[in-house]
């Protein structure tokens, strides 16, 4: 009865871990399985890759930790995993995930299978939650940050900059696609989506450091943040970006360009919302002045 109670308690912890993330589920599963069977040498979890094979997404056991992140063409333990283990067993955790247990000797497998059967729905919940977080963070069309995730990241970045020594500096570009509606209406929504993806790639290419941010603000508007950049440098980079976009679409039936507003922290605003409002207003000023230009004051 004591063993049963401990297993039930462990499984409750696994279900609770699903609220925190996939890795927490794997860690609780690892602890539970080892509690059930002391002959387990290693626990590894492999997730099917879209291009084929399986990627190791969890590994415990000193001889197996090196597999984390590796992709193998199948799970043939006798060829790919550690040769010193006496036996191994694969257990499916849903359609896309496989658990591989390395064992010091053959053991009774039913308790392990029963445990994994109960874990499977918890893992499905964890995967769903992870996908929800990805959808909330990244725009489905361009892969850039969503407006909400961008504003959160920008506010956190400004707070981090304020805590560092030296002169705080950061630059924000608010970018609007000129003539996007005309492009979309004449060429169709598929062409419009392709245009937005191309612009997103062009903006990604502008990233200079690990703290820089690129976001789709909605529709055909984008934001770009350089985390360590003087305003004068940001203006030069913005002009170069404007020129690059204009040249990329100069030979198209509709010449796509960009109107860009530039704002810098702390000279143009003391927080994320102040900077966004300043850069947005300047972007609209650039459009009113004739489009295909930048504005910074």
What is the value of pTM for the model shown?
Answer: 0.65
Which of 217, 228, 233 is closest to 279 using CA atoms? 217
Do 266 and 172 contact (CB within 8 A), yes or no?
no
200-220 in b/e form (b: 16+ CB < 10 A) is bebbeebeeeebbbbbbbeeb
Whole-angstrom distance, CA of residue 244 vs CA of residue 242: 5
132 annotated active-site: no
pLDDT of residue 84: 62
Reported as a single tens digit per residue, the pLDDT across 193-226 is 999 999 999 999 999 999 999 999 989 999 999 9
Please give the average per-residue pLDDT across 104-110, as a whole number.
84
Q: In which element (H, E) is residue 36 found?
A: helix 22-36
Confidence of residue 7 (pLDDT cuts 50, 70, 90): low
Distance between alpha carbon 92 and the CA centroid of its chain, in Å?
Answer: 26
Q: Which of 30, 176, 220, 280 is catalytic?
A: 220
Residues sharing a CB contact under 8 Å with residue 285, sequence separation 6 or more, in sequence order: 261, 295
Sheet bearing 221-226, strands edge to edge: 213-218, 221-226, 170-178, 257-265, 294-295
CA distances (Å), origin 99, targets 57, 77, 123, 230: 10, 12, 12, 51
- What span, in angstroms and rounded, lies between the C-alpha atoms of 44 and 27? 10
Q: What is residue 249's three-state secondary structure?
A: coil
Helix (H, G, I), strand (E, B) or coil at 144: coil
Helices 189-204 and 180-187 cross at an angle (nearest 10°) of 140
Could you list the beta-strand ranges (E) of the chain. 40-48, 54-60, 71-72, 87-92, 97-103, 170-178, 213-218, 221-226, 257-265, 294-295
If you compute the radius of gyration of the chain from its CA atoms, what whole number of angstroms results? Answer: 26
The span from the CA of 127 to the CA of 226, in Å, is 33
Higher-confidence residue of 116 and 227: namely: 227
Which H or E run contains 282? helix 272-288
Nearest to 84 by CA among 102, 61, 70: 102
Residue 255's SS3 state is coil
pLDDT of 4 above 70: no
The verdict on whether omega for the bond into residue 119 sits within 30 degrees of 0, i.e. cis, is no
Residues 270, 159: Cα–Cα separation, whole Å? 10
CB within 8 A of 169, min separation 6: which ones? 161, 228, 229, 230, 231, 264, 265
Looking at residue 142, what is its pLDDT?
Answer: 94
pLDDT tens per residue across span 34-69: 888 888 888 988 888 888 888 898 998 877 888 888
Q: Give me the helices (H) in 172-263, please.
A: 180-187, 189-204, 231-248
Contacts of 150 (CB under 8 A, 6+ apart): 213, 215, 217, 223
What's the mean per-residue pLDDT of the chain?
A: 87
Measured in residues, the chain has a length of: 297
């Amino acid at each position: 009865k004591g063993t049963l109670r401990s297993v039930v308690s462990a499984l409750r912890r696994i279900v609770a871990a699903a609220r925190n993330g996939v890795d927490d589920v794997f860690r609780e599963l690892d602890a539970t399985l080892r509690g059930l069977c002391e002959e387990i040498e290693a626990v590894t979890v492999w997730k099917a890759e879209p291009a084929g094979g399986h990627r190791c997404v969890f590994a415990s056991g000193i001889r197996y930790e090196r597999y984390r992140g590796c992709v193998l063409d199948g799970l043939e333990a006798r060829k790919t995993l550690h040769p010193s283990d006496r036996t191994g067993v694969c257990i499916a955790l849903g359609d896309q995930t496989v658990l591989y247990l390395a064992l010091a000797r053959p053991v009774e497998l039913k308790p392990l299978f029963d445990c994994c059967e109960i874990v499977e729905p918890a893992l499905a919940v964890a995967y769903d939650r992870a996908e929800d977080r990805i959808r909330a963070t990244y725009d489905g069309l361009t892969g850039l940050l969503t407006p909400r995730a961008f504003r959160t990241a920008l506010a956190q970045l400004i707070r981090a900059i304020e805590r560092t020594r030296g002169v705080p500096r950061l630059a924000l570009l608010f970018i609007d696609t000129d003539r996007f509606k005309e492009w979309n209406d004449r060429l169709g929504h598929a062409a419009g989506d392709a245009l937005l993806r191309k612009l997103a790639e062009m903006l990604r290419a502008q990233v200079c450091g690990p703290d820089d941010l690129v976001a789709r603000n909605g529709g055909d508007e984008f934001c770009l943040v350089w985390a360590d950049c003087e305003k004068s440098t940001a203006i030069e980079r913005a002009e170069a970006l404007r020129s690059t976009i204009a040249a990329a679409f100069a030979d198209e039936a509709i010449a796509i360009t960009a109107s860009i507003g530039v704002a810098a922290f702390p000279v143009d605003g003391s927080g994320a919302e102040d900077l966004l409002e300043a850069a947005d207003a300047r972007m609209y000023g650039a459009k009113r002045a004739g489009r295909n230009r930048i504005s910074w004051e």
